[in-house]
């Protein structure tokens, strides 16, 4: 079997669907190939016992390249926005910092938060710490208050899936002072897969193709540029000829698909040495009564594993059987980069959850998933982002492994897609 396309997109995660939709609208005829039964990757959803379980992302941000992508490709971004979007759980109480900001929040924790506020103020003015200062060291310079430390650790865990000693304070502060920082987001009523399905639909609407349950086995190249790929589609093996490849499987897996021999040694070595995937744990809980008293996300300040949780059915009751409630909880293991004892970390997270949320006593833990290794929380630890370009002409990477410094979440994947598509179109790939 043979197939001809101009651009092959490998993987329909958020970076892949954003890139394919943009390419399609720009007049290309992309072929989007996804190994799984559904699009979305770590921003997808599946059904279990009548509930919709998200594979990763739940909160999709407004006000950045993600929203711009939807406008550009001409489909609505159908999200339901919680109000308030973010609250904090401090000493057993829910605190909404919307009006008073950091000063109000810190005041609930300690009477000695002034130095933290001064440091945050300096960061807002662009005075950022040196790269080697971790977030933990940066907070320690301002306070020894344990709750403040846990609060910042849980912010780093919720956004970047790391502990406070695993992220440069500079990357963390860049995100909170220059990026959206999840101030405005929404949940999709079909589950996050609805966001990715909308973009995959654009590819088909514009004459491109989406192959689900199809796996790219090998990317081919000759004379320093990509020429095509071998794809397993159902029982068939298809030889795809193309001018360009956008890979959404992460730079390490892309090297494996291309083969080290086709790439220069320095590139291969640098990617393999720099790649630092991070880990987290997703816990879905079903209950008869809501476990949380807020419609958006709640960040914990008394925990060491569990970082945040979302009340999914407050705005999207269709995610659970009638009358039931669905809560998603995220925890980050110690360490989040490198090896850890999976069973122990899951148990510690569940224990904390039972202590934090009294409603857990009558609730059912529906699903527990540990994201690590080649199916991680983040493909690159913040501060260790990998390059989008490759030594092969016509081959680029998109997705969270190659996001901008100080960026995060699915928004960062949309940013990589926009950037790569602009470069690819500039390279005048034959239509
Ligand atoms: C638990 C958790 C919670 C998160 N919460 C949020 C959140 O609330 N908001 C937010 O914005 N972000 C969140 N994130 C981050 C976000 O989910 C990820 O950054 C983003 O989804 C990663 O997308 P990606 O473009 O890197 O692609 P990926 O999700 O890595 O997708 C890659 C795709 O490629 C496919 N594939 C792999 N190999 C092949 C092959 N050989 N052939 C064909 N297909 C292949 C895979 O099946 C997959 O679908 C969360 C992440 C996790 C893990």
Rounded Cα distance, 307 and 298, in Å: 9
Rounded Cα distance, 280 and 282, in Å: 7
pLDDT at 93: 86
Rounded Cα distance, 23 and 21, in Å: 5
Rounded Cα distance, 222 and 391, in Å: 12
Task: Give the Å distance between the CA of 70 and the centre of ligand 1.
Answer: 18
Residue 78, helix vs strand vs coil: coil
pLDDT at 430: 44
CATH number for the segment(s) 277-371:
3.90.660.50
Looking at CATH, the fold of the domain delimited by 98-178 is given as: Polyamine Oxidase; Chain A, domain 2 (3.90.660)
pLDDT at 406: 85
Which letter does DSSP use for residue 317 in this model? G
State which CATH number among 3.40.50.720, 1.20.120.530, 3.50.50.60, 3.40.50.2300 fits the domain covering 2-77+191-275+381-426: 3.50.50.60
Counting DSSP H helices and E strands in the chain, the numbers are 13, 20
Rounded Cα distance, 270 and 150, in Å: 33
Domains 2-77+191-275+381-426 and 277-371 share a fold: no
What residues have CB less than 8 Å from 224, skipping those under 6 apart? 391, 392, 393
Residues framing ligand 1 (Cβ under 6 A) = 10-16, 33-36, 41-43, 56-60, 215-216, 248-249, 280, 282, 330, 371, 377, 379, 399-400, 409-411, 413
Rounded Cα distance, 65 and 77, in Å: 12
pLDDT at 108: 84
Probe target for ligand 1 pocket from 8, 9, 10, 13, with the most ligand atoms within 8 Å of CB? 13
Closest residue by CA, ligand 1 atom 2: 56
pLDDT at 379: 97
| Beta sheet of 244-247, edge-to-edge order | 209-211, 31-33, 7-10, 244-247, 395-397
Closest residue by CA, ligand 1 atom 12: 409
Rounded Cα distance, 252 and 120, in Å: 36
Rg (CA), the chain: 22
What residues have CB less than 8 Å from 38, skipping those under 6 apart? 44, 45, 46, 193, 197, 212
Task: Give the Å distance between the CA of 60 and the centre of ligand 1.
Answer: 13
> Residue 2, Cβ neighbours under 10 Å: how many?
8
Rounded Cα distance, 328 and 310, in Å: 5
pLDDT at 102: 82
What is 265-315 written as a DSSP string? HHHHHHHHHH---B-EEEEEEEESS-S-SSSSEEEESS-SSEEEEEEHHHH
Residue 243, helix vs strand vs coil: coil
Is the distance from CB of 403 to CB of 291 less than 8 angstroms? Answer: no
Domain ranges of the chain: 2-77+191-275+381-426, 98-178, 277-371
pLDDT at 335: 98
Task: Give the Å distance between the CA of 61 and the centre of ligand 1.
Answer: 15
What residues have CB less than 8 Å from 174, skipping those under 6 apart? 128, 405, 406
Question: What is the mean pLDDT for each group of 10 consecutive residues in the chain (431 residues)?
Answer: 96 98 97 98 98 98 95 97 93 84 85 88 92 96 94 96 96 84 89 98 98 98 97 96 98 98 97 97 98 95 97 97 98 98 98 95 97 97 95 97 92 97 81 40
């Amino acid at each position: 079997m043979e197939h001809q396309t101009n651009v092959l997109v490998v993987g329909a995660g958020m970076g892949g669907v954003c890139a394919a939709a943009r390419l399609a609208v720009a007049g290309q005829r992309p072929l989007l190939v996804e190994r799984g039964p559904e699009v979305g990757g770590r921003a997808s959803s599946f059904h279990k016992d009548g509930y919709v379980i998200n594979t990763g992302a739940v909160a999709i941000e407004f006000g950045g390249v993600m929203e711009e992508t939807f406008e550009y490709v001409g489909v609505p971004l159908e999200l339901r926005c919680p109000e308030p979007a973010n609250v904090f759980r401090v000493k057993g109480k829910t605190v909404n910092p919307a009006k008073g900001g950091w000063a109000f929040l810190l005041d609930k924790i300690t009477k000695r938060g002034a130095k933290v506020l001064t440091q945050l103020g300096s960061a807002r003015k662009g005075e950022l710490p040196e790269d080697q200062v971790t977030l933990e060291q940066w907070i320690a310079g301002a306070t020894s208050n344990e709750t403040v430390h846990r609060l910042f650790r849980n912010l780093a865990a919720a956004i970047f899936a790391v502990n406070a000693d695993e992220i440069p304070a500079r990357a963390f502060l860049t995100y909170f002072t220059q990026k959206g920082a999840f101030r405005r987001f929404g949940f999709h009523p079909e589950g996050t897969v609805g966001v990715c399905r909308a973009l995959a639909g654009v590819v088909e609407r514009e004459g491109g193709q989406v192959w689900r349950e199809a796996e790219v086995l090998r990317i081919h190249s000759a004379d320093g540029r990509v020429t095509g790929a071998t794809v397993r589609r159902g029982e068939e093996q298809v030889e795809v000829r193309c001018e360009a490849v956008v890979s959404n499987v992460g730079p390490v897996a892309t090297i494996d698909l291309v083969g080290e021999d086709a790439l220069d040694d320095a590139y291969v070595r640098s990617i393999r040495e720099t790649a630092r995937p991070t880990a987290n744990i997703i816990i879905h809980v079903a209950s008869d009564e809501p476990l949380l008293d807020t419609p958006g996300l709640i960040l914990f300040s008394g925990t060491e594993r569990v970082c945040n949780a979302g009340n999914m059915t407050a705005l999207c009751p269709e995610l659970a059987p009638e009358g039931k409630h669905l809560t998603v909880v995220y925890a980050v293991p110690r360490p989040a980069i490198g090896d850890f004892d999976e069973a122990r970390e899951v148990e510690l997270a569940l224990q904390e959850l039972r202590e934090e949320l009294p409603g857990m006593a009558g609730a059912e833990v529906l699903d527990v998933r540990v994201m690590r290794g080649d199916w991680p929380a983040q493909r690159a630890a913040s501060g260790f982002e990998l390059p989008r370009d490759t030594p092969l002409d016509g081959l680029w990477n998109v997705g969270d492994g190659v996001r901008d410094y100080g960026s995060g979440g699915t928004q960062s994947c949309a940013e990589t897609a926009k950037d790569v598509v602009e470069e690819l179109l500039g390279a005048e790939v034959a239509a």
